[in-house]
Amino acid sequence: MEAERHLTLDPWDAEYVVDLSNVVRDRRLCDDREANLQRFLELLTALVTHTGDRSVSVYAVTDRSLLRHSALTARERSTLHRWFRRRLIEVRPRADDRILELADTAGLLVISDDRYMGDYRAYPWIPGNRDRFFRQLPGPGGIGVGIVPRTMPTPAEWEISRKEEQDRLVEARMYDRRTGTGARRELLTRLWRCPTPDCPMFGPDPVGGQPPPVFDGAVVRCPTHRERMADLGPAPSRIQLKVRVDGVSQRRFMLVAGTPMVVGRAPTGPGVALTGPMLDEAALSRISREHVELAWDGSRISVRDLSRNGTWLRPDSPVSPVSPEDRAEAAPREVPARRIPPGRTWTLRRGQVVVLCDGVELVASGRRYVFDAEPGVPAQQSKVAAEATEVTEFHRPGRR
């Protein structure tokens, strides 16, 4: 599979944080080699099946020793180095710290077979947790890789103390253990620049969003080079949208506040191209080269129809996946929808989806982010979460 399309260091884009080294070194999977990158590729395939989301993204973290592991082939080591240079995986001296940091501050789900007992005091939500952790295991008949939820153990006090002695943390983290203030939101909502020119994580011209930095005492540092970083100012507000085809998410992309984006079969400038195996010929014939323009102002999404065949808005509702063959013979869905007047800009109301043609939709992600939680406002009341989950009536901007 195309692994790189599922890798990101953007905590907005990821849904899972994967302990890459833990998976690659798991000798229960695939074969008995001490380390095998194929295990991680099989895990991504299993994750697509587990979620039913062909565009699922993961934030992969590995300890540095994996990149020079002698059991890996030269090609596998080269692949890992390429992923690191292309800012697709994060490499740390010790991966566990970062994995739990991301789970705590960015709300990512964890895939690892590690017990993390040395971190139970820092993260008291781990013991007995039933919904934040998953583990890899051999697939049916020992073929491939499977993913299952796991319940984290609740060890005795002496077990925690012994693990802490073996695995003492040596650096401060974004989660302030001393005061218990939790995620340092001010670090997550700003852009940072590492003074090392070729830094793949915080260098010039980053692709997509930045990963969280490391808070070392009173200094913000690059996780890779340990250099003190420059504060470039507030990060622009963003929201994630998904391309859903016959009820299955096939791709996702980000809208950045103040930067409109065109979606269509073949946009002439920067945009999202809907092509290839994602759509069949019938759908492609209904979608214009530049079908719709989307814009995000930090609280709402505006939609402008550019197409020749029309664009509709309708309330979101669960859709059973339908094969392209069955869809060609099926009757059109009887769902409330309204066509956007050609060339006009309308506001996407809460709980609505943008319909490009029958079976092809754009929908705002329902994921909630710590980045949007305003002080004193519960996460479930954040604007982005409400826009993505609550159904209200269709309306024209400025009118009810």
- Spell out the domains of the chain, with CATH numbers in brackets: 3-170 (3.40.50), 171-235 (no CATH), 238-389 (2.60.200.20)
User: Which two structure tokens, joined as six digits, stand for 136?
Assistant: 């890899």
User: Which two structure tokens, joined as six digits, stand for 339?
Assistant: 């066509």
Annotate 295-315 with b (16+ C-beta within 10 A) or e (fewer): bbeeeebbbbbbbeebbbbbb
Determine the pLDDT at residue 328: 46
pLDDT-wise least confident of 212-226, 231-245, 273-287: 212-226
pLDDT band at 68 (very low <50, low <70, confident <90, very high): very high
As beta bridge partners, residue 271 has 262
Q: Among residues of the chain, what percentage have pLDDT more than 70?
A: 76
Give the ranges where 107-209 is alpha helix by DSSP (H).
157-166, 185-188
Query: Which of 112-116, 224-228, 233-237 is most confident?
Result: 112-116
- The structure tokens 């400025």 sit at 398
pLDDT-wise least confident of 74-83, 115-124, 148-157, 203-212: 203-212
- The structure tokens 């930067």 sit at 259
Q: What distance in Å separates the CA atoms of residue 109 and residue 320, rounded to the nearest whole number?
A: 25
pLDDT-wise least confident of 17-31, 138-152, 285-299, 379-393: 379-393
- Across the range 224-241, mean pLDDT stands at 88
Is pLDDT above 60 for 213?
yes
Q: Do 257 and 209 contact (CB within 8 A), yes or no?
A: no
pLDDT-wise least confident of 95-99, 170-174, 275-279, 385-389: 385-389
* Residue predicted with more confidence, 218 or 182: 218
Radius of gyration in angstroms for the set of CA atoms belonging to the chain, rounded to a whole number: 22
pLDDT band at 58 (very low <50, low <70, confident <90, very high): very high
User: Dihedral angle at the C-alpha atoms of 61, 65, 69, 75, nearest 10 degrees?
Assistant: 50
Q: Compute φ and ψ for 39, nearest 5 degrees.
A: -60, -40
* Angle, alpha carbons 253-97-365 (nearest 5°): 20
Positive or negative, the CA dihedral 237, 353, 248, 328 is negative
pTM over 0.75? The answer is no
Q: Compute φ and ψ for 85, nearest 5 degrees.
A: -65, -35
pLDDT band at 354 (very low <50, low <70, confident <90, very high): very high
Which residues have a Cβ under 8 Å from the Cβ of 228 and sit 6 or more positions away?
195, 219, 220, 221
Is pLDDT above 70 for 398?
no
Amino acid found at 384: V
